[in-house]
Amino acid sequence: GQNIDQPTEMTATEGAIVQINCTYQTSGFNGLFWYQQHAGEAPTFLSYNVLDGLEEKGRFSSFLSRSKGYSYLLLKELQMKDSASYLCAVRDQDFNKFYFGSGTKLNVKP
């Protein structure tokens, strides 16, 4: 089976750093993805990890440890527009299916 866990909601202050964790237990693994979803909109791709380590893209970084079944998304220099839900998704081993966590709603306060 597939089990992907993330915190339901987090609050952080503008300008700060926030880390959103994701743990997974899946029968197969071929990459972990992070998506951002603003209220009422479609998810948009943020980052992708298939090997262990840190991937950095501007203010956003994502980390993966396959042995621990663990990933995090790090957001630096938070801006009000970063208020959104962040979805963690695991792609299965035959490239065809993605399994999503329930999402973490991030509230950025002034």
Q: DSSP letters along 26-93, please?
A: -S--S-EEEEEE-TTS--EEEEEESSSEEEEETTEEEEEETTTTEEEEEE-S--GGG-EEEEEEEE-T
Binding mask 6-35 for other proteins (x = CB under 8 A): --x----------------------x-x-x
Binders in 72-101 for other proteins, by CB under 8 A: 87, 89, 95-101
> In this structure, is the dihedral angle defined by the CA atoms of residues 52, 69, 103 and 9, taken in order, positive or negative?
negative
Q: Which two tokens stand for residue 40?
A: 């009422």
Determine, following the binding rule CB under 8 A, whether residue 103 of this chain makes contact with other proteins: yes
- Per CB under 8 A, the list member of 7, 29, 48, 74 interacting with other proteins is 48
Q: Which stretch binds other proteins (CB under 8 A): 20-28, 41-49, 53-61, 68-76?
A: 41-49
Binding site for other proteins (CB under 8 A): 8, 31, 33, 35, 40-45, 48, 87, 89, 95-103
